[in-house]
Structure 1
Amino acid sequence: MSTTPERPQYDAEVPYRGEQPYGMLEDLVIPQALDLDCDERLWVPQAPDVTFRPLLLSVSQGYFVNILRVRKTGILSRHRHAGPVHATTLKGRWHYLEHDWWAEEGSYAFEPPGDIHTLHVPDGVEEMVTLFHVTGAYIYVDPDGNPVGVEDVFTKLEAARKHYAAVGLGADYVDQFIR
């Protein structure tokens, strides 16, 4: 006698036959999203030796998901988070001068809103690559916390549009990442 109940009919391997909710956005699937050796034109310049590859630009909810690639050592930026940040390190290592922990290949970090820190890539790291999910904005600050710049989904979108137009992919190439 089996103790496993039979699967109910609603759980059968039959796709949903109804309509999706009105106004629902389409799924976004990016094949080979973690291919770090992809077409170089997909990497958007952010600063000297710093590029990003957008994966999702949520203009309706104010967040973005991108892969940040840094090919230099030293200080990358000092910033404050307006919202939560999730980071998964894919290659290399980095840390914040204000904290004791290190983000190394394969690690995950959660950064709470309001946190102010200085991102540092140590000597010996040829390339640091991290997938970031950023809600809200980075507010770049000087050592005393005075704002000196801002980065959010809209600045990322504009930078990507300009870059993709300049490298021949077309400004509208970035539209596939907008949700």
Structure 2
Amino acid sequence: MALPETFTHQDELLTISSNAQPFLDGLLHPGISVAPMFLDTHNGVWCLRVKFKPGVTLPLHYHTGVVHFYTMSGCWYYTEYPDQKQTAGSYLFEPGGSIHQLNVPADNTEDTDTFMIVFGANVNFTETGEYINMMDAGLIKTWVDQAIKEQPGAEDVRYISSPVPSFTKS
């Protein structure tokens, strides 16, 4: 079998060390630190390492696409599933169309460190079901780029993003 005639050439690998990456504070919600890994505004995919402080509760949210969610340390659960706590080593697949509210127990002794790959958007709501916002790769990219300008030490934050489409003349 021959190699493909068309392939993507890379001069270097697109890689980021999430352990060396600075975290940005206060982007998504109070008590959360974010290290962006990949923000694809064209395809609606976002990949983040997120640390949650003990006691954090996110808004109720609806997923327009699937989520892959890995817990590296700490503990969290969904309000709707309080007996299914996610702890270090837990991998959770969330189907598109799911709705839930993430909680980090206040008695956690450490931050909860997670890694997520999200397709689509989170549509966020208040406890009473009123619309807050739609958080997608574009909104997160805007928040990240602003934080890089404003937060001390954030100038070293790197993330991979989708290329800007352009016309090619033949």
Give the conservation status (yes or no) of the 8 Å contact 1:44–1:160. Answer: no
Report whether the alignment pairs 1:101 with 2:84.
Answer: yes
Report whether the alignment pairs 1:137 with 2:121.
Answer: yes
Give the conservation status (yes or no) of the 8 Å contact 1:89–1:130. Answer: yes
Structure 2 residue runs without a partner (length 5+): 163-170
Task: Tell me the TM-score normalized by structure 2.
Answer: 0.79
Query: Residues 52 and 168 (structure 1 numbering): CA distance in 2 closer, same or farther, change over 3 Å?
Result: closer
Answer with 49-58 or 68-77: which moved more. Answer: 68-77
Query: Which residue of structure 2 lines up, in the alignment, with residue 67 of structure 1?
Result: 49
Q: Residue 160 of structure 1 aligns to which amino acid in structure 2?
A: V
Query: Which residue of structure 1 lines up, in the alignment, with residue 26 of structure 2?
Result: 45
Query: Which residue of structure 2 lines up, in the alignment, with residue 150 of structure 1?
Result: 134
Give the conservation status (yes or no) of the 8 Å contact 2:59–2:126. Answer: no
Query: Residues 169 and 105 (structure 1 numbering): CA distance in 2 closer, same or farther, change over 3 Å?
Result: closer
Give the conservation status (yes or no) of the 8 Å contact 1:138–1:150. Answer: yes
Deviation string 1:144-163 (CA, Å, 9 cap, x unpaired) is: 43322221101110111111
Structure 1 residue runs without a partner (length 5+): 1-9
Q: Distance in 2 between matches of 1:161 and 1:117?
A: 28
- Mapping 1:1-179, distance limit 5 Å: 20-21=7-8, 27-30=13-16, 32-33=17-18, 35=19, 38=20, 40=22, 42-46=23-27, 47-99=29-81, 100-125=83-108, 126-166=110-150, 167=152, 169-170=154-155, 174=158, 176-179=159-162
Q: Distance in 2 between matches of 1:54 and 1:71?
A: 18
Query: Which residue of structure 2 lines up, in the alignment, with residue 4 of structure 1?
Result: none
Query: Residues 17 and 152 (structure 1 numbering): CA distance in 2 closer, same or farther, change over 3 Å?
Result: closer
Q: Distance in 1 between matches of 2:149 and 2:102?
A: 30
Answer with 115-124 or 72-81: which moved more. Answer: 72-81
Task: Tell me the TM-score normalized by structure 1.
Answer: 0.75
How many residues align structurally?
Answer: 158
Give the conservation status (yes or no) of the 8 Å contact 2:62–2:99. Answer: yes
* Percent identical residues: 25
Which structure carries more relative contact order (alpha carbon 8 Å, separation 6+)? 2
